[in-house]
Amino acid sequence: MAALITPAELAEALAGEHPPVLLDVRWRLGGPPGRAEYERGHLPGAVFVDLDTELAAPPGPNGRHPLPDPDALQSTLRRAGVRSDRPVVIYDTADGSVAARAWWLLRWVGHDAVSVLDGGYTAWVAEGRPVTTDEPRPEPGDLTVRPGTLPVVDADGAADLARAGVLLDARAPERYRGDVEPVDPRAGHVPGARNAPFSEHVDGTGRWRSPEELRERFAALGVGRDGPVGAYCGSGVTACSVLLALEVAGLSTPERPAVLYAGSWSHWSADPTRPAATGDQPG
């Protein structure tokens, strides 16, 4: 199943004999909560899943959005109707930067038929496709969560990756440079990391750039088909957008998957003994 699905392709799939499970994961840093948007309108059949409370463990020593407890994640996914024999399509407001977190988590626990809606809710509505305020009550799913299908590194692993491979920082350039830090304890970036803002994966409408465009972008950052590559961001959410972009570009494969530093800068910066680089260069 392709990592991205267009609104037209999704509409066709929903009309088929075995429609995909739909997850609405709209969320904004600093709020308001995504559930309010969901209640005002969502794709028919979509179940809302909350990033802060269901796609992450409580904030703490492991960062602002640590990976969720596997048992809790299994309960969440089964509540949403996720089954091992049905594909899943996930959407957020537009650019896929939040939907990618759910996409990555499902892949991480062993479900490989997962796609992100290209352009999200905004693209669906722009094409005049139906929305509803009715909340579905799906039959409970049967997915068994088996973490570990995709690789994760800790702070030491991220530092090693920055030295021996390519570590991509998904945050906005001003946070990467250390000009500002509105959320985490310190400003800057992991020494050796290269800035790959998640906002550049899409065009001005929130639709994803072509595989060719993404490959060119990553090549300019030193990413090729050989050698390890991974990503981090502020808290491990938008880094998954980088991982999705790498897959779309053909640079992350089952044989050589890209790596997630799940704790990301919120974890790295909390330890004052870890160095922080500033400025435009990896450092």
Q: Give the domains, in start order, of the chain with CATH numbers.
A: 4-126 (3.40.250.10), 152-268 (3.40.250.10)
What mean pLDDT do residues 97-105 have? 98
pLDDT at 29 over 90: no
Point out the residues that are catalytic. Answer: 233
What mean pLDDT do residues 37-57 have? 98
The pLDDT score that the predictor gives to residue 31 is 84
Q: Tens of pLDDT along 180-226?
A: 999 999 999 999 999 999 999 999 999 999 999 999 999 999 998 88
| Terminal alpha carbon distance of the chain | 39
Global confidence as pTM: 0.97
Q: Tens of pLDDT along 148-171?
A: 999 999 999 999 999 999 999 999
